């Protein structure tokens, strides 16, 4: 997409003016090189020397690429391979991997700056100030993504640590096989605490999801009928578990469930989680119902279908994507929930998040990271499913632009 | 099973024989601290007990850190789901004062020592509260990493190394609470060990302790979970830190981390069981049966094979053997071992019971400055 616009821009504006090589490109590539040099130097407590060497490296790379290597692909690969080789010389395979990343970033930066690509998103008449703001804006967006994703990505390699600490050991950084192991995954799959926690989660979440989907769908359909009195008030009450701070719901449920002997029981936890999941189902199903054409039910009735048949044969298939995505949200809510279960559950209902919470507090073991990695993978799979269903629903309702 | 209970009951006499005549539930919820410590309890007490009583099932709840608050809530909700709770001595005193823990008579419900001494004599001074059934002696002590010290710096031999940022530059980890830190600060400010609590009672003394802590405030990483300092030290984020001696033992001996112990001025503390007040009879009978078994001389000595905490019974000390997996003798790793306890600081529970609230708020205010 962006490549396409870049190409057309190239064709339309034959000469967009290369920025000054020595006055602009080389200082900026040198700065980027200096930044990486400083970071690399810091790992061996030689930040300043690293910075100076990085300046030279970045400046030279910028100058040579811009002056002699017109082919962008060739230039980028050349710098990646050269820097990786340099990294390998300094720090074996870990250094090579780091060098390749540095080479990729610096070469991209050099062409982006040197070829004037940074002006792509702004009109030709934009002032330098406007261009600078546009570029800054892009970088802010980039950093937002980086800070959102980096913590999640960090845990994945750490979960393969061969030590019992959350530490990137020298062996791991050197990419040597001894630094990595599957023992934390093995611990998860063999340790009875983790296993019983996982089975508890797997017993509680589907039941809670089933209840939430059933009640939530019925509530959404009922509340979408114009003749229901106090619709808004009822809606607000049903949505409230999502709005009220969890700790308050949890404390309230604790005292109430204790009185009616539900505290510390499987049923109690399932009901509490269903209550938390219902708002998600109501919201997604209500959203799907907005696009639901009511004349279809009237047409069905006209053809002799009773309301139940109409619901099952006409309405349900059309709102199914909303029901399923609401169900997935309800499932994840129950599966990730730790506050309510700490109050409402007892030790027999210890769920995965509870076990992780304990593990973090009492014993910082990378098994938590292994579990987290598994859960992240699972969440990504579920979110991807939701997205696919959403697209399908849009296609079915004819809202999709395609 | 019934026969076994009767046999046991007659063997120890007293409550046991009464218990055998009554109903016992088979489900028990024990509350502990999780981690290596709970594992040691599971292996030394729970597993052999369940082998003897195959019908019994035990669930563990890792809620000891918030045991006081949770027991209060359970009591208010009228639904106490715990049967036996592992707490530190200070919490036991609080729970006992509030009537949330059951008062016990050690000679009546606990087994005699193997050497024939009465339970009361065997536990001795460690019975710090009427509700408290001591299990272990642990200590809050320090460790450091020699490879992170500046070249030529002598190995730290005193707790005052924490306050010597010139010789030992770098971050140090201390627990985020006044207990221990105030005492150590005064100790390193030249107050004699026996005068510390007298000095700490006065406003000037407290200011003096805070002033001493001020000198290293920028270099302190505060921890709240005892698992944090070994993690920080393994990462090289800190050069020295305080934690429980069992955590250091586990990091050094079981995980092979290059840490060194600094036993100087280690602070002893106790950990043990309390029975929540007001349990129904059938649950109470089961708990009493378990507690009697789990705190006898052999069981307490067995626990020391899994974690380096000293057994609370005097009669257990000679039975402490080797680590169950590593096979190294556990004696030298106990906080009570002569080489480690050359300079021990005795933590004053009763003093802290009186001054805790006041100093906690002062400490928080000082932290926020």
Does A255 lie at the interface with B, CB-CB under 8 angstroms?
yes
Q: Say what the pLDDT of residue A14 is.
A: 44
pLDDT reading at A226 higher than 70 = yes
User: Mind telling me how many Å the CA of A98 is from chain B's nearest CA?
Assistant: 21
Residue B283 host element (H or E): helix B281-294
Choose one of A71, A100, A121: the last residue of a domain: A121
Q: Are residues B217 and B347 in the same domain?
A: yes
Q: Say what the pLDDT of residue B188 is.
A: 93
Residue B37 CB partners (closer than 8 Å, separation 6+): B246, B307, B309
* Cβ distance of A359 and B34 shorter than 8 Å: yes
Q: Are residues B357 and B241 in the same domain?
A: yes
Q: Say what the pLDDT of residue A162 is.
A: 84
In a domain, B7, yes or no: yes
Q: Are residues A193 and A103 in the same domain?
A: no
User: Mind telling me how many Å the CA of B61 is from chain A's nearest CA?
Assistant: 5
Residue B78 CB partners (closer than 8 Å, separation 6+): A258, A259
Q: How many Cα atoms occupy the beta-carbon half-sphere of B18 within 13 Å?
A: 9
Query: What CA–CA distance (Å, rounded) separates B137 from B321?
Result: 16
Q: Say what the pLDDT of residue B300 is.
A: 92
Mean pLDDT of chain A: 85
pLDDT reading at A191 higher than 80 = yes
Angle at A332 between CA A331 and CA A336, to 5 degrees: 125
In a domain, B312, yes or no: yes
List, for chain B, all residue ranges whose pLDDT scores fall below the cut of 70: 1-22
pLDDT tens-digit profile of B56-67?
Answer: 999 998 888 888
In a domain, B281, yes or no: yes
Q: Are residues A272 and A366 in the same domain?
A: yes
Q: Are residues B165 and B254 in the same domain?
A: yes
Q: Say what the pLDDT of residue A63 is.
A: 85
Tell me, yes or no, if the pTM score tops 0.80: no
Q: Are residues B125 and B94 in the same domain?
A: yes
Q: Are residues B262 and B308 in the same domain?
A: no
Range of the domain at B236: 139-266+338-368
Choose one of A71, A96, A121: the last residue of a domain: A121
Q: Say what the pLDDT of residue B22 is.
A: 67
Q: Say what the pLDDT of residue A12 is.
A: 45
In a domain, A37, yes or no: yes
DSSP B91-155: HHHHHHHTT-B----HHHHSPPPTTS--HHHHHGGG--STT-EEEEEEEEEEEE-GGGSPTTPPP
Q: Are residues B77 and B181 in the same domain?
A: no
- Cα B83 to Cα A27, A86, A193, B5, B71: the distances in Å are 71, 63, 20, 19, 11
Q: Which residue of A has its CA nearest to B69?
A: A343
Best-predicted range by mean pLDDT among A197-211, A313-327, B244-258?
A197-211
pLDDT reading at A74 higher than 90 = no
ipTM score of complex: 0.74
User: Mind telling me how many Å the CA of B42 is from chain A's nearest CA?
Assistant: 12
Q: Say what the pLDDT of residue A3 is.
A: 46
Does B289 lie at the interface with A, CB-CB under 8 angstroms?
no
Q: Are residues B79 and B108 in the same domain?
A: yes
Q: Are residues A110 and A237 in the same domain?
A: no
* Cβ distance of B79 and A258 shorter than 8 Å: yes
* Cβ distance of B235 and A167 shorter than 8 Å: yes
Domain count, chain A: 2
Q: Which residues of A touch B176 (CB under 8 A)?
A: none
In a domain, A293, yes or no: yes
Q: Say what the pLDDT of residue A398 is.
A: 64
* Cβ distance of A259 and B78 shorter than 8 Å: yes
Range of the domain at A260: 187-396
**Which among B59, B73, B231 has CB closest to A348?**
B59
Q: What is the 3 state secondary structure string of chain A? A: CHHHHHHHHHHHCCCCCCCCHHHHHHHHHHHHHHHHHHHHHHHCCCHHHHHHHHHHHHHHHHHHHHHHCCCHHHHHHHHHHHHHHHHHHHHHHHHHHHHHHHHHHHHHHHHHHHCCHHHCCCCCCCCHHHHHHHHHHHHHHHHHHHHHHHHHHHHHHHCCECCCCCCCCHHHHCCCHHHECCHHHHHHHHCHHHHHHHHHHHHHHHHHHHHHHHHHHHHHHHHHCCCCCCHHHHHHHHHHHHHCCHHHHHHHHHHHHHHCCCCCCHHHHHHHHHHHHHHHHHHHHHHHHHCCCCHHHHHHHHCCCCHHHHHHHHHHHHHHHHHHHHHHHHHHHHHHCCHHHHHHCCHHHCCHHHHHHHHHHHCCCCHHHHHHHHHHHHHHHHHHHHHHHHHHHHHHCCCCCC
Confidence of residue A250 (pLDDT cuts 50, 70, 90): very high
In a domain, B327, yes or no: no
Q: What is the dihedral of CA A383, A386, A387, A388, to 10 degrees?
A: 120
Q: Are residues A103 and A229 in the same domain?
A: no
Q: How far is CA A52 from the centre of its chain?
A: 37
Q: Say what the pLDDT of residue B30 is.
A: 94
Q: What is the mean pLDDT of residues A349-355?
A: 90
In a domain, A56, yes or no: yes
In a domain, B326, yes or no: no
Q: Are residues B54 and B169 in the same domain?
A: no
Confidence of residue A11 (pLDDT cuts 50, 70, 90): very low
Choose the mutation target among A154, A343, A361 for the interface with B, i.e. most B CBs under 10 Å: A361
pLDDT tens-digit profile of A78-100?
Answer: 888 888 888 888 777 778 888 88
Q: Which residues of B touch A350 (CB under 8 A)?
A: 61
Q: What is the mean pLDDT of residues A354-372?
A: 84
**Which among B78, B227, B234 has CB closest to A363?**
B227
Query: Sign of dihedral through CA atoms B303, B308, B310, B316?
Result: positive
Q: What is the mean pLDDT of residues A155-177?
A: 81
* Cβ distance of B77 and A255 shorter than 8 Å: yes
Query: What CA–CA distance (Å, rounded) separates A275 from A105?
Result: 48
Mean pLDDT of chain B: 87
Q: Which residues of B touch A347 (CB under 8 A)?
A: 29, 59-61
In a domain, A99, yes or no: yes
For residues B213 and B195, the answer to whether their CB atoms sit within 8 Å is: no
Choose the mutation target among A43, A44, A358 for the interface with B, i.e. most B CBs under 10 Å: A358
Choose one of A87, A121, A155: the last residue of a domain: A121
Q: Which residue of B has its CA nearest to A361?
A: B225
Q: Of A9-18, A326-335, B25-34, B221-230, which gets the smallest average pLDDT?
A: A9-18
pLDDT tens-digit profile of A277-305?
Answer: 999 999 999 999 888 888 888 899 899 99
pLDDT reading at A28 higher than 90 = no
Does B309 lie at the interface with A, CB-CB under 8 angstroms?
no
Q: Are residues B56 and B157 in the same domain?
A: no
Q: Say what the pLDDT of residue A95 is.
A: 81
**Which among B225, B230, B234 has CB closest to A362?**
B225
Q: Are residues B104 and B7 in the same domain?
A: yes
Q: What is the mean pLDDT of residues A375-398?
A: 81
* Cβ distance of A346 and B81 shorter than 8 Å: yes
Choose the mutation target among A183, A265, A362 for the interface with B, i.e. most B CBs under 10 Å: A362
Q: Are residues A73 and A195 in the same domain?
A: no
In a domain, A297, yes or no: yes
Q: Are residues B87 and B215 in the same domain?
A: no
In a domain, A174, yes or no: no
Angle at A337 between CA A332 and CA A343, to 5 degrees: 150
Domain count, chain B: 2
Q: Are residues B357 and B215 in the same domain?
A: yes
pLDDT reading at A126 higher than 80 = no
Instruction: For chain A, give the percent of residues with pLDDT over 70.
Output: 94
């Amino acid at each position: 997409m962006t490549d396409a616009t870049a190409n057309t821009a190239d064709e339309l504006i034959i000469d967009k003016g290369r920025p000054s090589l020595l006055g602009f490109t080389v200082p900026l590539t040198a700065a980027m090189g200096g930044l990486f040099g400083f970071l690399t130097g810091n790992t061996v407590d030689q930040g300043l020397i690293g910075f100076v060497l990085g300046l030279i490296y970045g400046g030279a790379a910028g100058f040579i690429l811009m002056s002699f290597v017109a082919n962008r692909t060739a230039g980028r690969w050349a710098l990646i391979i050269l820097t990786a080789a340099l990294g390998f010389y300094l720090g074996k395979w870990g250094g090579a991997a780091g060098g390749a990343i540095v080479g990729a970033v610096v070469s991209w930066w050099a062409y982006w700056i040197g070829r004037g690509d940074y002006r792509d998103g702004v009109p030709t008449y934009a002032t330098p100030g406007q261009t600078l703001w546009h570029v800054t804006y892009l970088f802010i967006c980039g950093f937002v993504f980086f800070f959102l994703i980096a913590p999640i990505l960090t845990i994945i390699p750490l979960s393969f640590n061969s030590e019992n600490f959350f530490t990137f050991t020298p062996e791991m950084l050197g990419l040597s096989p001894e630094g990595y192991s599957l023992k934390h995954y093995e611990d998860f799959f063999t340790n009875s605490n983790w296993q019983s926690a996982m089975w508890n989660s797997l017993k509680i979440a589907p039941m809670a999801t089933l209840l939430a989907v059933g009640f939530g769908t019925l509530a959404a359909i009922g509340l979408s009928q114009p003749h229901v009195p106090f619709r808004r008030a009822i809606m607000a009450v049903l949505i409230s578990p999502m709005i009220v701070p969890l700790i308050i719901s949890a404390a309230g449920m604790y005292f109430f469930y204790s009185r009616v002997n539900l505290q510390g029981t499987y049923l109690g936890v399932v009901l509490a989680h269903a209550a938390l999941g219902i708002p998600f189902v109501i919201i997604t199903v209500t959203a799907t119902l907005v696009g639901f054409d009511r004349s279809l039910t009237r047409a069905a009735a006209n053809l002799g279908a009773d309301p139940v048949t109409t619901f099952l044969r006409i309405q349900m298939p059309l709102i199914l994507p909303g029901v399923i995505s609401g169900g997935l949200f309800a499932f994840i809510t129950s599966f990730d929930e730790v506050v309510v279960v700490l109050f409402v559950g007892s030790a027999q209902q210890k769920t995965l998040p509870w076990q992780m919470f304990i593990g973090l507090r009492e014993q910082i073991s990378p098994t938590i990271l292994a579990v987290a990695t598994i859960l992240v993978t699972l969440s990504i799979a579920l979110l991807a499913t939701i997205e696919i269903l959403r697209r399908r629903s849009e296609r079915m309702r004819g809202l999709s632009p395609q | 099973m019934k026969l076994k209970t009767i046999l046991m009951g007659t063997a120890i006499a007293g409550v046991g024989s009464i218990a055998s005549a009554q109903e016992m539930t088979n489900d028990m919820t024990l509350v502990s601290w999780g981690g290596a410590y709970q594992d040691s309890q599971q292996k030394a007490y729970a597993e052999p007990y369940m082998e003897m009583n195959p019908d019994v099932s035990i669930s563990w709840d890792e809620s000891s850190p918030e045991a006081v608050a949770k027991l209060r809530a359970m009591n208010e909700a009228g639904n106490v789901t715990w049967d036996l709770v592992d707490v530190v001595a200070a919490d036991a005193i609080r729970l006992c004062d509030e009537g949330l823990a059951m008062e016990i008579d050690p000679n009546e419900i606990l087994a005699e020592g193997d050497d024939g001494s009465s339970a009361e004599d065997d536990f001795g001074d460690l019975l710090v509260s009427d509700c408290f059934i001591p299990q272990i002696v642990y200590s809050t002590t320090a460790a450091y990493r020699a490879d992170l010290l500046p070249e030529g710096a002598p190995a730290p031999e005193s707790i005052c190394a924490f306050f010597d940022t010139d010789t030992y530059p770098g971050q140090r980890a201390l627990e985020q609470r006044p207990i221990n830190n105030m005492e150590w600060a005064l100790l390193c400010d030249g107050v004699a060990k026996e005068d510390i609590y007298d000095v700490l009672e006065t406003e000037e003394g407290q200011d003096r302790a805070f002033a001493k802590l001020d000198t290293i405030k920028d270099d302190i990483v505060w921890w709240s979970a005892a698992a944090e300092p070994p993690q920080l030290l393994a990462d090289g984020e800190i050069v020295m830190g305080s934690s429980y001696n069992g955590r250091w033992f586990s990091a050094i001996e079981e995980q092979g981390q290059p840490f060194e112990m600094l036993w100087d001025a280690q602070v002893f503390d106790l950990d043990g069981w309390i029975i929540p007040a007001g349990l129904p009879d059938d649950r109470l009978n089961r708990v009493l049966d378990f507690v009697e078994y789990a705190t006898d001389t052999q069981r307490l000595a067995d626990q020391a094979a899994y974690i380096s905490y000293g057994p609370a019974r005097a009669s257990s000390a000679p039975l402490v053997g080797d680590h169950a997996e590593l096979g190294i003798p556990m004696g030298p790793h106990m906080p009570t071992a002569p080489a480690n306890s050359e300079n021990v600081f005795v933590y004053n529970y009763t003093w802290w019971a009186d001054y805790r609230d006041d100093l906690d708020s002062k400490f928080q205010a000082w932290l926020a400055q």
